[in-house]
Amino acid sequence: MMFPEARLYIDGKLRAAENGATYEDISPWTAAPIAKVADASVADMDEAIAAARRAFDTTDWPTNKALRREMVVKLGEKLRANRDRLAAYAHNEAGSALGTIAFPQVDGPLGFIDELLKMFDAIEWEKPMGERPAFGGMSQRTLVKEAAGVVGVITPWNVPFYINIGKVIPALLAGCTVIMKPAPDTPLLSTIFGEMAAEVGFPAGVLNVVTAADPVTLGEMLVTDKRVDLISFTGSATVGRRIMEKGAPTLKRLFLELGGKSALIVLEDLPNFAQAVCMGMVCYHAGQGCATLTRLLVPRSRYDEAVKILEAAYAGYQWGDPANPAHVMGPLISAKQRERVMAYIEAGKAEGARLIAGGNRATDKGPGFFVEPTFFVDVTNDMKIAREEIFGPVGVLIPFEDDEDAIRIANDSEYGLSGMVLSGDTERAMKIARRIRAGTIGVNFGASITVDLPFGGYKQSGIGKEWGMEGFDEYLETKAVAVGKFG
């Protein structure tokens, strides 16, 4: 299947790269091309940055809230009308199994647009701060929220549409102008924003979408260019560090959503112990989720039982059928990612962890980038597979002695993105949850990741928050205004 060629959207125009270059968008299911995509040059990115700067500095976009609302409402309507196309992209381009289309890939984020609009309506743009005497007179003070400026949005390939919505919609509503640079592996879930913006008549330069085969060069242009005020990035901690370094000379404002190695703590007092343990299977979207619970922590007293539960669950696990709406696991995004995941599996074996499921490339699912659902037991928290983000279908089981030990292991990580605590005693689980150093935590299957709650990491999982009212603050500045009443 081939989709129509994907074009750049720069300064209000949908167009090819200036030098006509294209690259192939590859399906993770088949390893075959599904679309030709514009491969932008440095000159194209330069034009996009200039257009976004111009739109911010010389049009009423940053100050005209009604216009912004109207444009985002229309963009949302267009995207919703293209729901099936988005689902086809998520499936064919991001390798999403059909069971993940509802959430997080397409329907969830489509529904979030209206909720973001309601949050926009609730922003307190001007906050009176009262009078205060100073220098022999009185000052009447107000805090004013204003757009942060030109935003470079750099996004990953795992849940691209979800993250594009989470960044682009609040940034536009805040009054910023945007240059979106998606991961090379998932261009179509971004270029559709340009196509829809063109159809609804966005003012030129307000939103720009620039795709390229090279993952680094054009993203670094955004980071180093002084015409860009803010970088909103989701991706790996490694690239996050690089962005900080490269952004330093222009003191770039940074919003970084990075990786995780989150713990699922299952306590011994659970009535539904087997269900809880199975939550630690790292299969959803083949483990390619930043907040995936990739370290399963169980009490030593029930460790052997947990191993048996996992062995049975993996033995019967059904996955990898592109047409089955119940499946939630498909391929990895690329051959490169598959090699990376296989290297972690080899590292786990070399460090003495014991495989109870998978461990190989899957060869019975077709020519795509498949790795078997894989699980290691007898893992210690100092092993590479327990410390580093694998971003593949690889889980690890670690025993703990008591609640204190569980907290210690969960927090013994460079990351701090998410987590879950499961217990028959909610108060006991809450005591543990309060001490986990992570930005988002579920207790007894509670869902902590959704549109109205801020999401973002502690420690090396990032800086800043996406979603919720806090998600808007990333794209706003606060100006203190004082009007003197002298004489």
* Catalytic residue numbers, as ranges: 257, 290
- Which residues within the stretch 417-446 sit at the binding site for ligand NAD (CB under 6 A)? 417
* 286 near ligand NAD (CB under 6 A): no
- Which residues within the stretch 2-41 sit at the binding site for ligand NAD (CB under 6 A)? none
Q: Which of 62, 247, 320, 462 binds ligand NAD (CB under 6 A)?
A: 462
Using CB atoms, what's the residue nearest to ligand NAD? 219
H or E segment and range at residue 472:
helix 468-473
* 309 near ligand NAD (CB under 6 A): no
- Alpha helices by DSSP H, listed for 82-159, are 83-92, 107-121
Phi, psi of 455 (to 5 degrees): -130, 125
Distance CA 35, CA 3 (A): 5
Q: Are 282 and 264 in contact (CB under 8 A)?
A: no
Phi, psi of 432 (to 5 degrees): -70, -45
* 223 near ligand NAD (CB under 6 A): yes
Q: Which of 108, 109, 156, 399 binds ligand NAD (CB under 6 A)?
A: 156
- Which residues within the stretch 196-215 sit at the binding site for ligand NAD (CB under 6 A)? 215
Q: Which of 42, 216, 312, 350 binds ligand NAD (CB under 6 A)?
A: 216
- CB of 165 vs ligand NAD, minimal distance in Å: 12
* 254 near ligand NAD (CB under 6 A): no
Q: In this structure, what token pair is assigned to residue 354?
A: 């014991």
- CB of 176 vs ligand NAD, minimal distance in Å: 18
Strand ranges for 302-400 from DSSP E: 354-357, 374-377, 394-400
Q: Which 8-state DSSP code applies to residue 3?
A: P
Q: Are 111 and 73 in contact (CB under 8 A)?
A: no
Q: In this structure, what token pair is assigned to residue 273?
A: 């112990």
CB under 6 A: which stretch of 26-34, 92-100, 230-238, 296-304 binds ligand NAD?
230-238
Distance CA 449, CA 460 (A): 19
Q: Which of 92, 96, 105, 155 binds ligand NAD (CB under 6 A)?
A: 155
**Nearest to ligand NAD of 159, 309 (CB atom):** 159
Q: Which 8-state DSSP code applies to residue 19?
A: T
Q: Are 68 and 62 in contact (CB under 8 A)?
A: no
* 393 near ligand NAD (CB under 6 A): no
**Angle of helix 160-174 versus helix 188-200 axis, rounded to 10:** 40
Q: Are 290 and 324 in contact (CB under 8 A)?
A: no
Q: How far is CA 472 from CA 207, 247, 367, 422, in A?
A: 17, 22, 42, 32
CB under 6 A: which stretch of 32-40, 59-67, 116-124, 154-162 binds ligand NAD?
154-162
Q: Which of 173, 189, 228, 290 binds ligand NAD (CB under 6 A)?
A: 290
* 234 near ligand NAD (CB under 6 A): yes
* 154 near ligand NAD (CB under 6 A): yes
Q: In this structure, what token pair is assigned to residue 25?
A: 């968008």
Q: Are 395 and 296 in contact (CB under 8 A)?
A: yes
**Nearest to ligand NAD of 276, 417 (CB atom):** 417
- CB of 166 vs ligand NAD, minimal distance in Å: 8
- Which residues within the stretch 88-117 sit at the binding site for ligand NAD (CB under 6 A)? none
User: Where do contacts with ligand NAD occur on this chain (CB under 6 A)?
Assistant: 154-159, 163, 181-184, 215-216, 219-220, 223, 234-236, 239, 242-243, 257-260, 290, 389, 391, 417, 457, 462
